Amino acid sequence: MKKFLLVLLACAALNAFADDVAKGRAKADVACGLCHGPNGISTLPNAPNLAGQQAIYLSEQLKNYRNGKRQNEVMGVIAKPLTDTEIAQLSAWYSAIKVTAETP
Ligand code: HEC
């Protein structure tokens, strides 16, 4: 019974994560893709790639832009209206994108 409950809990957590990823993707398509690319690989020379970045790091940066601890003209304006939920969803989406690294 305990095992069954654990599996059920794990499934619920996975479902919640998948839901965050989907919602984050939809929001990012509209609000972030222009600069950070539709797949999180930046399309602007001065915008960083977000694909595959740690969710905790992304959330921290977005909150820092929002509260002014990290200052940037563009991201300050973009992060200002984001809720904690939206930040979690956007971070889930970008961290879920798989990237590989190849050394030269
Ligand atoms: C108009 C272009 C533009 C748009 C749109 C935009 N960004 Fe950015 N973003 C930037 C630039 C430029 C930087 C680098 C800012 C700096 O130097 O701090 C940046 C930095 C970031 C960083 C910090 C990354 C790091 O490596 O520290 C995060 C996270 C981020 N953006 C998330 C988002 C999200 C999420 C959205 C959509 C809600 C978004 N951005 C929309 C241009 C943009």
| Three-point CA angle 30, 44, 87, nearest 5° | 40
Neighbours of 87 (CB within 10 A): 21
Q: Which residue's alpha carbon is nearest to atom 31 within ligand 1?
A: 75
Distance 36 CA to ligand 1 centre (A): 7
Rg of the chain in Å (alpha carbons): 16
Q: What is the pLDDT of residues 52-90, one digit of tens each?
A: 999 999 999 999 999 999 999 999 999 999 999 999 999
Answer whether 35 contacts ligand 1 (Cβ < 6 A).
yes
pLDDT in the model for residue 8: 72
Q: Are 29 and 99 in contact (CB under 8 A)?
A: no
pLDDT for res 57: 98
How confident is the model at residue 15, as a pLDDT? 83
pLDDT single digits (tens) 21-46: 999 999 999 999 999 999 999 999 99
d(CA 35, CA 46): 9
Q: Is 92 in the pocket of ligand 1 (CB under 6 A)?
A: no
